[in-house]
Structure 1
Amino acid sequence: MDYGLGVRLDRPFGQAVEAVTAALKEQGFGVLTTIDVRATLREKIGAEIEDYLILGACNPALAHRALLADRRIGLLLPCNVVVRADGDATVVEAVDPQTMVALAGPDGGLDEVADEAARRLTAALAALATLG
């Protein structure tokens, strides 16, 4: 099962993070959390990896609809968006909201919410792809 949506950007990591945040905002998502995986691994275990952020993106209206359909869906919220350096480029990947439906089951009432979230995340990634 492919559980992600992604795009590769020919731009430096810092610029990509700003562009991702703006593209998500344009689609109604805010970034609730930012986990700096690189800094955490360096601090906690002395490991070195490329620049790597996990952004916890949330569209409040969609989150509310998902919670009304299934209170346990909070286990899968917010939508994780990864921004990671890959050489001179940056890779941006978002969890496919259809993963929620696959895990919660078809009777969970999440189909429409996942469809809209996927449409919005895909639109954000498509907007990023035009930036290069």
Structure 2
Amino acid sequence: MTYTLATSLPLPWAEAVERTREALAAQGFGILTEIDVRATFGKKLGAEAADAVGDYVILGACNPALASRALAAEPEMGALLPCNVVVHRNDSADSTTVEAIDPQTMVQLSQSAAVKEVADDAGARLRRVIADLEHAAE
């Protein structure tokens, strides 16, 4: 089983990041955290490591209603929140990749019917995010 929902977009990195934010917001997700991996690697590991990873951001996306339901069902689900969405592009690439964690990975770790419902809802929303990005990039 693959653990991400992904697409490649024929867009510059900065535009893909902005469109990803907009598509997530349209599905009720806010951004709780943002990690600029390139900048972090540059600071901690040097320019060579930063250049090797390319433009790379991890967005910690959260839909509060879904997170509340997941935590009510199993408080341990907090270790899997927020949903990570990655936007990355190598310097030599002609497209930008957007990947979101597939919420069905939660189902593999839990036997709870309530967690499955949340994962199904979150997965449907994240699939719409990916589809909206693909449609907007056409």
Partner of 1:95: 101
What secondary structure does 2:97 align onto?
strand
Q: TM-score, normalised by structure 2?
A: 0.92
Letter in 2 for 1:63: A
1:3 equivalent in alignment to 2:9: no
Letter in 2 for 1:34: E
Partner of 1:75: 79
CA offset at residue 89 of structure 1?
A: 1.1
Q: Determine the C-alpha separation between the residues in 1 that align with 2:16 and 2:72.
A: 34
Partner of 1:116: 121
What secondary structure does 1:101 align onto?
helix
Letter in 2 for 1:120: R
1:130 equivalent in alignment to 2:135: yes
* Structure 1 residues not aligned, in runs of 5+: none
Letter in 2 for 1:54: I
Partner of 2:55: 51
Q: Determine the C-alpha separation between the residues in 2 that align with 1:118 and 1:8.
A: 18
Letter in 1 for 2:134: A
Letter in 2 for 1:97: P
Q: TM-score, normalised by structure 1?
A: 0.96
Q: Does the CA contact (< 8 Å) of 1:70 and 1:108 recur in 2?
A: no
Q: Determine the C-alpha separation between the residues in 2 that align with 1:30 and 1:107.
A: 25
* Runs of at least 4 residues off by over 6 Å: none
Partner of 1:42: 42
Q: Does the CA contact (< 8 Å) of 1:23 and 1:127 recur in 2?
A: yes
* Structure 2 residues not aligned, in runs of 5+: none
Partner of 1:19: 19
Output the aligned Cα RMSD: 1.0
What secondary structure does 1:82 align onto?
strand
Give % identity: 54
Q: Does the CA contact (< 8 Å) of 2:35 and 2:59 recur in 1?
A: yes
CA offset at residue 108 of structure 1?
A: 6.0
CA offset at residue 101 of structure 1?
A: 1.1
Aligned length: 131
Cα offsets for 1:7-50 (capped at 9, x unmatched): 11000000000000000000000011110001101110111221
